[in-house]
Amino acid sequence: MSDIKKLSRLYDRNKANILENYFQFLRFKSISSEIEHQKDSANCASWLKDYLKQAGLAVEVFESPSGNPIILASWSGAGPDKPTVMIYNHYDVQPVDPLELWTSPPFEPTIRDNKVYARGAQDNKGQCHYVISAIKYLLEEQGTLPVNIKLCIEGEEECGSGFLSEILKKQTSASFFSSDYLLIVDLGYHKEDVPAISLGVRGLCALTVEFKGANIDLHSGSHGGIVYNPNHALVEVLAKLRDDMGRITVPGFYDDVVDVSSSELENIDMYFDQDEYFANFGVRPNGGEKSYKFLESAWLRPTLEINGITGGYTGDGFKTVIPATSKAKISCRLVPNQQPEIIARRLSEFIQKITPDEIKVTITEHKGGASVRTSANSVISRTASRAYSEVFSKPCGYVYEGGSIPIVSELASKSKAEVVLMGFGLPSDMIHAPNEHFGLDRLEKGFITIARILQILGST
């Protein structure tokens, strides 16, 4: 019997328990960005701790003074001759608004058409759960594991990973994080049944920019033509951040950009189906830099997007106000070697410079993170690729991820490990949106793939 077949049987034998546990995990309302759910997050962390202890791991819980606990679980029974594999997941989830668009309640997991519908079903509880159940049942069956394991499961990924970042900065916990391989299991591939691992995530820097004109809202009749309307100042400044070709105009913005080499790109499928995009999103792709292919723009080029803008009256009817303030939230996706702090500073300085006189600018910087790119030729990439190929019975491809997992660069640097960015997400999973779901087939494939990666790493 093949290794994959054996792992598939292991899953089947424990499927009922796995699903019951997965559903328990999904029922916690662990929304990290909503303070009223802090208790739910604590309960979720406590449940995880118990689950991992029962599985036979040593569990340490880092309690945050103001946020959600981090679970650090380890198993070192493979001994010093075997590699140590760290796996990163998170148990917190996105908010559920707008609630009325959910077909079934977000915290009552429901199976329809072999998919589990719930907030977190994929991102990241689903992916976390096949990791922990693979380890649990492998250990239970064989009394041992092929490698040493470290699990890092945090509860603030959806709101910036602030606490984990803090823990990583503390020298005291350095020993825990050191490992040979680091699996970031929070990603996926782009076409069902065509497995792929990601060779990079983009970095992120994010600013809130506030423009202040007069000290009170003014009447646009009396003051129109006199005062500089902060709404006008804002649109004028924001419009200047990109040129007609979609290129970002901030001086120095592209200075540190490292292109992906053509040899690296050879393995990447850059085909982008415009019709499918239109069918999914109701719009043709026509943003971004005009001189790049769509997936180059989405994966390999930095971007600048206005995520939010507000100023003055926008309710029903009309109010002829010149507001005292206007505000925008701007984020940049970054690529190597753009440093979030440096890009944020260059952007801030440029905004300050081009803002009209008499408009006071206040800029707040949010926590960002650097881009990470990995090599397809590392041990861990080749191992993960082999495991995917065995599970899917077809070659594993390579993609990039346009999104960011800001903590990855910090975790990678602290652990000194080789990193692989992987997972079983699909673009159609509706993560961060109503009706998030995850296929039961992928829950199983995830279980088998993780177990297989550990086996391969342990056998060399």
Nearest distance in Å: CB 351, its own copies: 13
* Angstrom distance (rounded) from CA 295 to CA 400: 9
What is the rounded distance in angstroms from the CA atom of residue 53 to the CA atom of residue 71?
11
| Euclidean distance between CA atoms 452 and 439, whole angstroms | 20
Interface mask (CB under 8 A) for its own copies, residues 159-198, using x and -? Answer: xx--------------------------------------
Q: In this structure, is the dihedral angle defined by the CA atoms of residues 9, 384, 92 and 103, taken in order, positive or negative?
A: negative
Which positions from 54 to 93 touch its own copies by CB under 8 A, shown as an x/- string? ----------------------------------------
CB 220, min distance to its own copies, A: 5
Asked if residue 265 binds its own copies (CB under 8 A), the reply is no
Q: What pairs with residue 115 in β-bridges?
A: 112, 439
CB of 398 to its own copies, least distance (A): 17
Minimum distance from residue 428 beta carbon to its own copies (Å): 11
- The kind and range of the H/E element at 369 are strand 360-369
Nearer to its own copies, 184 or 456 (CB): 184
Residue 327 found at the interface with its own copies (CB under 8 A): yes
What does each C-alpha distance from 140 to 11, 77, 407 come to in angstroms?
12, 13, 31
Q: CB-wise, 23 or 277, nearer to its own copies?
A: 277
Q: Does 202 bind its own copies (CB under 8 A)?
A: yes
Nearest distance, CB of residue 201 and its own copies, angstroms: 8
Sites for its own copies among residues 303-322 (CB under 8 A) = 303, 305-314, 316-322
End-to-end CA distance of the chain: 21
Nearer to its own copies, 81 or 281 (CB): 281
Distance CA 429, CA 427 (A): 6
**Among 56, 77, 95, 458, which residue sits at the site for its own copies (rule: CB under 8 A)?**
95
**Per CB under 8 A, 379 contacts its own copies:** no
Q: What is the DSSP letter of 249?
A: -
Site for its own copies contains 408 (CB under 8 A):
no
Measure the CA–CA gap between 37 and 24, rounded to whole angstroms: 17
**Nearest-CA neighbor of 260 among 303, 187, 199?**
199
Residue closer to its own copies by CB (options 3, 365) is: 365
**Measuring CA to CA, which residue among 135, 130, 49, 156 is closest to residue 85?**
135
In the complex with its own copies, the residue whose CB is nearer, 120 or 160, is 160
Cβ neighbors of 433 (< 8 A, separation 6 or more) are none
Output the smallest distance, CB 253 to its own copies, in A: 14
Phi, psi of 91 (to 5 degrees): -100, -5
Which residues ranging from 337 to 366 are in contact with its own copies (CB under 8 A)? 356-358, 366
